[in-house]
Amino acid sequence: MKSRLRVPELVAADPRHARSAADRYRERIRVHNPRLNAFITQVDPEVPPAAGPLAGVPIAHKDIFVTRGIRTTCGSRMLADFIPPYDATVVERLARAGCILVGKTNMDEFAMGSSNETSAFGPVRNPWDPERVPGGSSGGSAAAVAAGLVPVATGTDTGGSIRQPAALCGVTGFKPSYGRVSRFGMIAFASSMDQAGVLARSAEDVAWVLRGMAGHDPRDSTSVDRPVPDYVAALTRGIRGLRIGIVRNFFDDGLWPTVADRIQAALAVLEAAGARLTDVTLPNLSLSVPVYYVLAPAECSSNLARYDGVRFGHRADRPEDLFDLYCRSRSEGFGEEVQRRILIGTYVLSHGYYDAYYLKAQRVRRLIRNDFLRAFESVDLLAGPTTPTPAFRLGEKTADPLTMYLNDIYTIGVNLAGLPALSVPAGLVDGLPVGLQLIGRDFDEETLFAAAADFQRRTEWHRAEPPGFEDVSG
Spacing of C-alpha 385 from chain mean position: 16
Shortest Å, Cβ 158 to ligand GLN: 4
Between 161 and 182, name the residue whose CB sits nearer to ligand GLN: 161
Shortest Å, Cβ 296 to ligand GLN: 5
How far is residue 448's CA from residue 381's CA, in Å, rounded to a whole number? 8
Shortest Å, Cβ 156 to ligand GLN: 6
Between 98 and 136, name the residue whose CB sits nearer to ligand GLN: 136
Between 303 and 456, name the residue whose CB sits nearer to ligand GLN: 303
Shortest Å, Cβ 301 to ligand GLN: 13
Interface contacts to ligand GLN, rule CB under 6 A: 111-114, 137, 157-161, 189, 296, 408
Between 45 and 140, name the residue whose CB sits nearer to ligand GLN: 140
- CA distances from residue 298 to 290, 338, 346, 350, 389 in whole angstroms, order as listed: 13, 12, 6, 10, 28
Q: Which run of H or of E encompasses 440?
A: strand 432-440
3-state secondary structure 159-220: CCCCHHHHHHHCCEEEECCCCCECCCCECCCCCCCCCEEEEECCHHHHHHHHHHHECCCCCC
Type of residue at 2? K
Task: Map residue 26 onto helix, strand or coil.
Answer: helix
Between 25 and 334, name the residue whose CB sits nearer to ligand GLN: 334
Shortest Å, Cβ 469 to ligand GLN: 25
Task: Map residue 269 onto helix, strand or coil.
Answer: helix
How far is residue 435's CA from residue 428's CA, in Å, rounded to a whole number? 9
User: For 43-138, where are the E strands, in sequence order?
Assistant: 58-62, 100-105
Shortest Å, Cβ 37 to ligand GLN: 19
Q: Are the beta carbons of 138 and 105 closer than 8 angstroms?
A: yes
Question: Catalytic residue at 329?
Answer: no
Between 112 and 152, name the residue whose CB sits nearer to ligand GLN: 112
How far is residue 282's CA from residue 280's CA, in Å, rounded to a whole number? 7
Strands 421-429, 172-175: pairing is antiparallel
Q: Give yes or no for a cis peptide into 137 (omega within 30° of 0).
A: yes
Q: Name 22's bridge partners.
A: none
Q: Which run of H or of E encompasses 247?
A: strand 243-247
Between 115 and 249, name the residue whose CB sits nearer to ligand GLN: 115
Question: Catalytic residue at 301?
Answer: no
Q: 115, 137, 138, 223: which one is catalytic?
A: 137
Question: Catalytic residue at 3?
Answer: no
Shortest Å, Cβ 55 to ligand GLN: 31
Q: 114, 161, 177, 223: which one is catalytic?
A: 161
Q: 62, 104, 175, 397: which one is catalytic?
A: 62
By annotation, the residues acting in catalysis are 62, 137, 161
